[in-house]
């Protein structure tokens, strides 16, 4: 059995390493630019759909008020997705002159974002989440980059912050790897993922694509928008600037972490984009096989040296990925990286398996994890 398994694993590892080399090449194509006055001619509308975010909304509004982009060049639309907390009281002292607040007319984040985008007055729309922290030059850098790339869609980088615990370090490094893969793929003209926590697009592109976005799920609007843009051969670029990074917190508990990742994975069943599917299959296959190798080593300890060698080679290529992305994100400490990456195959396999058997809730709502039969 081992004689068959090892060659299969080695073939999968070769494909995985080739994929990482492709992403690293893309990241190294990054050429950061400085903003110029001519980039500040357009108007931006920031759209934020929120539900039960009373503690986070004041900080979000403070960050938006501190933007270096003049207030006359952007407005903000907050769409309340049927919150049940006291969010009104928390933001009353921070009401901004360029702020509009509306209640969602539909259920779900996707409907709330769509409502906000249709209300947008700007010819560039930027979405983020209420629990994100924004840098002062966030909007300025997005405006400059969308112009420089002549992009219909600009994928923004998101960094997940950790409190230093092992679980949150795992989340943060896993998410950082996803972001770097996203940057590399987009720079190579094969975008595979984006996040509504930091996404910009022209209003013209959105109106053209809105009827081509998968409506099966209440969320997932970001990825479905990206895939629709690819089908329509639109220009998609990555925001290769440290000023464009937004920050979000890692999940506080193991349960919420698992629920979040299953929620993300559940939408992948509706993906039809070839690049995204190929990358997802390669990553999952490699991690499942690595998990099987580690478990096999417990039963057949004679292969421990082979296992160590394969894990070392995998870690070297993953370290090169993190090193290539040091313009956007700080490189992790080596010991932290090694500990997290050793556990990563087990975590990925467990999450993928759990997605088929566990029910998921998000902000008091049941999340659909099975694609409906039509």
Same domain, 218 and 283: no
* Closest to 35 in 3D by CA, of 60, 61, 63, 68: 68
Task: Give the CA-trace dihedral at 252, 354, 261, 192, to 10 degrees.
Answer: 160
Q: Is there a contact between 246 and 128 (Cβ–Cβ < 8 Å)?
A: yes
372 domain residue, yes or no: no
**Neighbour count for residue 302 (Cβ, 10 Å):** 8
What's the pLDDT at 200? 98
Tell me which H or E stretch contains 49.
Answer: strand 44-50
Strand partners for 360:
367
Question: How far does CA 116 lie from the centroid of its chain?
Answer: 20
Same domain, 245 and 336: no
From the CA atom positions of the chain, what is the Rg in Å? 21
Same domain, 158 and 217: yes
Same domain, 158 and 208: yes
86 domain residue, yes or no: yes
Same domain, 104 and 16: no
Q: Is there a contact between 39 and 146 (Cβ–Cβ < 8 Å)?
A: no
CA distances from 145 to 32, 68, 121, 189, 234 (A): 9, 15, 20, 16, 16
* Closest to 239 in 3D by CA, of 182, 164, 154: 154
186 domain residue, yes or no: no
φ/ψ bin of 305: left (φ > 0), alpha (ψ from -120 to 50), beta (otherwise): alpha
**Neighbour count for residue 329 (Cβ, 10 Å):** 21
Taking the C-alpha atoms of residue 353 and residue 347, their distance in angstroms, rounded to an integer, is 10
What's the pLDDT at 39? 52
Same domain, 234 and 147: yes
What's the pLDDT at 33? 55
The dihedrals phi and psi of 367, each to the nearest 5 degrees, come to -100, 130
Same domain, 97 and 227: yes
62 domain residue, yes or no: yes
Same domain, 174 and 242: yes
**Full domain range(s) for residue 293:** 2-26+273-367
Same domain, 147 and 238: yes
267 domain residue, yes or no: no
Same domain, 70 and 118: yes
What's the pLDDT at 94? 78
For 332, residues 6+ apart whose C-beta sits below 8 A from its C-beta are 173, 176, 322, 340
Same domain, 18 and 43: no
Spell out, as residue ranges, where the chain has pLDDT lower than 50: 35, 37-38, 371-374
The number of distinct structural domains making up the chain is 2
171 domain residue, yes or no: yes
Strand partners for 49:
79
233 domain residue, yes or no: yes
Say which CATH number the domain at 115 has. Answer: 3.90.550.10
Half-sphere exposure (Cβ direction) of 335: Cα atoms closer than 13 Å: 1
Same domain, 225 and 93: yes
Strand partners for 76:
46, 99
CA distances from 143 to 46, 54, 107, 211, 225 (A): 12, 29, 31, 26, 19
32 domain residue, yes or no: no
What's the pLDDT at 350? 87
């Amino acid at each position: 059995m081992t004689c068959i398994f090892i060659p299969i694993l080695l073939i999968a590892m070769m494909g995985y390493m080739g994929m990482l080399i492709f992403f690293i090449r893309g990241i190294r194509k990054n050429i950061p630019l400085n903003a110029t006055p001519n980039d500040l001619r357009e108007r931006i509308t920031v759209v934020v759909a929120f539900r039960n975010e009373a503690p986070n909304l004041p900080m979000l509004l403070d960050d938006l008020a501190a933007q270096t982009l003049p207030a006359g060049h952007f407005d903000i639309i907050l769409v309340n997705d049927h919150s049940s907390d006291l969010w009104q009281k928390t933001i009353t002292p921070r009401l901004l002159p360029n702020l509009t607040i509306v209640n969602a007319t539909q259920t779900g984040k996707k409907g709330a974002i769509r409502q906000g985008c249709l209300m947008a007055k700007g010819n560039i729309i930027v979405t983020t989440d209420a629990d994100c922290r924004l840098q002062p030059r966030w909007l300025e850098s997005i405006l400059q980059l969308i112009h420089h790339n002549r992009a219909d869609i600009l994928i923004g980088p998101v960094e997940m912050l950790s409190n230093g615990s092992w679980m949150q370090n795992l989340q943060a490094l896993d998410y950082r790897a996803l972001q770097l893969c996203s940057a590399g793929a987009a720079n190579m003209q094969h975008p595979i993922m984006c996040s509504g926590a930091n996404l910009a697009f022209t209003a013209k592109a959105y109106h053209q694509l809105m009827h081509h976005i998968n409506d099966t799920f209440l969320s997932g609007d970001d990825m479905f928008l990206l895939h629709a843009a690819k089908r329509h051969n639109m220009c998609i670029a990555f925001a290769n600037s440290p000023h464009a990074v937004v920050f979000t917190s890692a999940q506080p508990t193991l349960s919420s972490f698992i629920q979040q990742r299953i929620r993300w994975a559940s939408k992948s069943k509706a993906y039809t984009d070839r690049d995204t599917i190929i990358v997802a299959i390669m990553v999952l296959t490699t991690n499942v096989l690595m998990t099987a190798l580690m478990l096999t080593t417990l039963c057949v300890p004679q292969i421990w040296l082979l296992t160590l060698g394969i894990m070392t080679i995998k870690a070297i290529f993953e370290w090169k990925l993190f090193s290539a992305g040091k313009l956007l994100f700080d490189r992790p400490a080596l010991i932290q990286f090694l500990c997290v990456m050793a556990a990563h195959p087990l975590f990925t396999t467990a999450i993928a398996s759990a997605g088929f058997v566990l029910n998921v809730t998000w902000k008091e709502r049941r999340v659909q994890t099975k694609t409906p039969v039509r």
